[in-house]
Amino acid sequence: MTTAGRIEESPRATFLAYAARGQLGYQVAKGSGRPVFFPRVTEPVTGDTDLEWRVSMGIGTVYATTTVRPRGDEPHNVSMVDLDEGFRMMSTVTGTAPDDVRVGQRVRLVMLPLGPDGAELPAFELLEEKS
């Protein structure tokens, strides 16, 4: 990521490159082992700049959820998802009615063209619940 103290590529650009390959990239601080998300130049707690990129398995649990109802547009879901690797991210759960998403549901990563330029970005869908 760095050469002689210089950043070769921004964390955002690296994150988007992972997303373009259908992967959810995140960072881990080498010193503490703590996951870092949203990707950045330094670990928020310690300021450590020795960060390593990893790929999430994309499985997590809905931590919080709401339905946004924009005037003149379709309602959509906004959720906070706790990924199994130990970080939380804001995204959306698709493939089900926005009001049907519940805290505690297990979800898996899907990439959708959600970026302003059609860039693939992480979203989630419900994992099949076993009956």
Residues 73 and 89 in one domain: yes
pLDDT range class, residue 24, cuts 50, 70, 90: very high
Type of residue at 37: F
- Segments forming the whole domain that contains residue 21: 2-55
Provide the pairing of β-strand 120-126 with 93-94: parallel
Residues 69 and 117 in one domain: yes
- What distance in Å separates the CA atoms of residue 107 and residue 94, rounded to the nearest whole number? 10
Task: Say how many domains are in the chain.
Answer: 2
Whether pLDDT at 68 is above 50: yes
Spatial contact of 24 and 122, defined as CB atoms under 8 Å apart: yes
122 domain-assigned = yes
> What is the mean predicted confidence (pLDDT) over 22-35?
92
In this predicted structure, the answer to whether residue 131 has a pLDDT above a threshold of 80 is no
Domain presence at residue 102: yes
Q: What's the pTM? A: 0.83
Q: How confident is the model at residue 23 (pLDDT cuts 50, 70, 90)?
A: very high
Task: Report the pLDDT value the prediction gives residue 45, as an integer from 0 to 100.
Answer: 83
